[in-house]
Structure 1
Amino acid sequence: MPFRGFFIGSRTRALAIANGFLIAAFVGCTSTPIPMETEYLFQGPTMGTAYRVKVVSPHLSDAGKSRIDQAIQRELDNVNAKMSTYQSDSEISRFNRQRTTEPFPLSVDVIEVLSEAQRISEATEGAFDITVGPLVDAWGFGPVKLDRIPSESRLAELHQSVGWEKIEIGAPATARKSHPATQADLSAIAKGYAVDRVSQTLADLDYGNHMVEVGGEVRTAGHGLTGKTWRIAIEQPILGRRAQQRIVRLNDGAMATSGDYRNLIEKDGVRYSHTIDPRSARPVTHRLASVTVIHLSCMTADAYATALMVMGEDEAFRFATAHDLAVMLLVRGEEGDFTERCTPAFEALRRS
C-alpha cells in the first residue's frame, strides 16, 4: 500500500546531513506556530555511519535530555549487537559462522528483519538478496581490494552459496541454511529497521514530534519546530559534491535512497559499481543513478531502494508501478545530467 502522508515542495533551504543521501530540514510551512517548543539535537556514530535525531518538545530538563539520549543509544546498540557483520559476537555473525544446515536460534528482532528481507527478495525475484556478500567481496567492495576481475568459474563457485531462498525461517525463532557456506548481510535493511525502532521508542516516550536519520535513511513523526512540516531533500547523485534534487515534505512516514555513485572502483580503465546484481553475479551497468522510496516503514523503504537500484531504470519503474510504490528514479544522461522518472504513486503525491 503506498504511503499517502507527504507532500513535495519546491523551496530549497535545507540543513545538509554529511553522512547519507538525504538532507534533513525543517523550513517553510504555513502551519500555525506552536509556542514554547524547542528543537533538541542528538547525534553520534553508529553502524559504520552516523545518526541524527531531532526532537521538538517543550523545555527538557537535563534529566529529560539524558533519558532521550540513552533511549536512542540503547535501540541503536541493540540493532548493532544483533545485526552487524563487523561485530564477531553479533547474532548474525554467529549465524554466519555456523557451517551446518541445522536450525540456529535468533532473537525476535533478527527474525523480523530476516522475514521482511525474504518477503522483498521473493517479491523482487531475487533483486534484493541478503546473501550476496561473497559476490560483493569478489568484486573488490569488501575488506580486500580488487586485484583482478573474478573469473567465470570463480563467480559460478561463489554463486552456489548465494540465493535468498537458501535461508529458511522456522519456528520458534530459528533460521537454517540449505547450503552451509551461505552468509547473511543485513546492511541493506538494518539501518532502516534501526530508524523505525528509534522512532517508535521516542513515540513510546511521548515525544511525538521528531525526525530520525541513520546513514541517510529517514523517518519523521508529528511536526518540526514552530509547527512546520518536516522537510527532507533528495540529493543529486553527483560524486564529490552535494546538491539537492528535490525537497519532500514528509509527514509521519519514511524515506530511503540508494545510489551507485559514492562507492566505485576502477580496473583496467573500467569503472565498476558497488551495486551487485545477485541474479547475474556482476556489477550493474545501467544508467540508474539513484532510487528514492517513500513508505510507512523505513525498513521496507530501505530494502526496496536497494532492490530497485539493482533492477535498473525500466525494470524498477515497471515493478514499482505494479506494486503501487511511491518511487523517484534519477537516471543519468549522456552529458552528466539527471532525468527524474516518478511512479504514478509519487506523482499523485506531488499533485496533492
Structure 2
Amino acid sequence: MSKMSIEKKGQGDLRRYTFNGETMGTRYNAQCYAERDLDPSPLAAELEMAVQGVDQEMSNWKANSDLTRLNNAPVDVWVPIPGNLATVLARAAEIGCETGNAFNVGVGDLVDQWGFGPQGTGQPDMSDLSSRRTRMPVGEMLEIDIARSRARKRAPLALDLCGIAKGFGVDELGRVMDRSGIRSWLVGIDGEMRAKGTKPLGASWTLAIERPEYDCRDAFAVIEITDVAIATSGDYRHWSEYQGMRISHTMDPRTGAPLSNGVASVTVLAATCMNADAYATALMVLGDERGVQFARRKGLDALFLVREGKGLRATGTGCFARESQVA
C-alpha cells in the first residue's frame, strides 16, 4: 500500500506545496507554488493516481499488470492494452531504431537471467548460455496499434520498461500539475525529474547531478532548470557482484550481456522525461565515443561521466559541453 504525505509552506503571496509517496519500487515527489487557498487534497489524490496507474500498466514486477499480461500472451495474438502503454512501447521502438538497437525494451529475460528482474535470484544464472544472444530490435518483434490500443508479439518476447516507464510516470505527474492550472512545479520519480516555470522572484529549479560512486552519495555538479526534463542512467545504484566483478543492471541488447564499457553515468535533458530517460539509457549502451557522436547529431544535451582509473572523465554535448574535464 502506497503512503503519501503533503506539506505546505508559505512563500509570500504563494505557498509551496510538496507531495510524496511510494511507487515503482521507489518514491515519487512533487512540489509546486500555488495560491495560498489551494486545497491540496484533490491534487495529492490525482498525483497518486497518476503514478500508480503507470505502475499498474507498465510494471513487470506485478503479476497482474498490463505489461505482464502482454508478456504472457501467445505469439500472433492481438492483446488489448491501455493507450499509455501503447504510446510508450511505440516510442521505445522508435528510439531503438534511432540508436541502432542500443535501446531495446525486449531484454526482460536477460535482466532475469543476470539476477536483476522479478524472476531473477540476485545472481547470474549461467545454466543457459545459449539464450544470451543478441536481441532483435523490438520494432521487428512487436506490432503496436496505437489507434486501437493493442499490441501483437511476432516472436516470444519479454518486455522490460525500466528504462522508460519512470520517465513517462514523471511526465504524467507534470500533466496532473498542468491540468490543475499550476504554472510552477517540479516533479520526479527517483532521479528522473521535470520542471516547469520558476520559483517566486524568477529563480530556476536547482538540482544536483550525482557523482557516480558505489558507496556514497555526493554531487558532481549543480544545474538550474526550467521547462525541461532531466534523467540519469548509471551503473552505480543497481548492480551485483559475480566472481569478484561488479555487474551492471543495464543490458546491452547487442551482446546479450550486462553493459561493460567504462561509462559510469549519462545525464540527458529533453522536452519530456520519457525521452530523457530512454536516451540516457541508450547513450550509456552506445558508450563514450559513439554515444557522444549520436548526441551531437541528435542535438541532445548530454553529460557522460566515464571511469578512468580512480577518477572520472566528463564529456558533454549541448549545454553540457563546458563540463568536459577530468574530475
- Check if 1:347 corresponds to 2:324: no
Q: Which residue of 2 aligns with 1:90?
A: 65
Equivalent position SS for 2:163: helix
Q: Distance in 2 between matches of 1:113 and 1:103?
A: 17
Spell out, residue by residue over 1:122-179, the C-alpha distance to the aligned partner (whole angstroms, 9 max, x if none): 00111111111111111222231325545542324xx578845211113522211111
Select which of 7, 10, 14 maps to 1:37. 14
8 Å Cα contact 2:107-2:135 kept in structure 1:
no
Q: Distance in 2 between matches of 1:104 and 1:35?
A: 52
Equivalent position SS for 2:208: strand
Equivalent position SS for 1:52: strand
Q: Where in structure 2 are the equivalents of 1:325-344 lying within 5 Å? A: 325-335=300-310, 337-344=311-318
Q: Distance in 2 between matches of 1:344 and 1:40?
A: 33
Q: Distance in 1 between matches of 2:136 and 2:91?
A: 21
8 Å Cα contact 1:130-1:164 kept in structure 2:
no
Aligned sequence identity (%): 34
Spell out, residue by residue over 1:260-302, the C-alpha distance to the aligned partner (whole angstroms, 9 max, x if none): 0112222222222211101110112211100000001110000
8 Å Cα contact 1:38-1:225 kept in structure 2:
no
Q: Could you tell me how far 1:345 is from its partner in structure 2?
A: 4.8
Q: Which runs of 5+ in 1 are unaligned?
A: 1-33
Letter in 2 for 1:35: G
Equivalent position SS for 2:260: coil
Give TM-score scaled by structure 2 length.
Answer: 0.89
Q: Which residue of 1 aligns with 2:150?
A: 174
Q: Quote the RMSD (CA, aligned, Å).
A: 2.0
Q: Which residue of 2 aligns with 1:49?
A: 26
Q: Could you tell me how far 1:346 is from its partner in structure 2?
A: 3.2
8 Å Cα contact 1:37-1:226 kept in structure 2:
no
Q: Distance in 2 between matches of 1:226 and 1:160?
A: 50
Q: Which runs of 5+ in 2 are unaligned?
A: 1-10
Q: Which residue of 2 aligns with 1:146?
A: 123
Q: Where in structure 2 are the equivalents of 1:1-352 lying within 5 Å? A: 35-61=12-38, 64-142=39-117, 143-146=120-123, 149=126, 152-156=129-133, 163-170=138-145, 171-179=147-155, 181-335=156-310, 337-347=311-321
8 Å Cα contact 1:162-1:182 kept in structure 2:
no
Letter in 2 for 1:75: A
Q: Distance in 2 between matches of 1:91 and 1:161?
A: 23
Change (3 A) 1:127 1:281: same
Letter in 2 for 1:49: T
More strand by share: 2
8 Å Cα contact 1:286-1:312 kept in structure 2:
yes
Give TM-score scaled by structure 1 length.
Answer: 0.83
Q: Distance in 1 between matches of 2:121 and 2:100?
A: 29
8 Å Cα contact 1:196-1:219 kept in structure 2:
yes
Spell out, residue by residue over 1:310-349, the C-alpha distance to the aligned partner (whole angstroms, 9 max, x if none): 11111111111111111010111212x1121001453389
Question: Which deviates the most, 189-198 or 139-148?
Answer: 139-148
Equivalent position SS for 1:187: coil
Question: Which deviates the most, 81-90 or 284-293?
Answer: 81-90
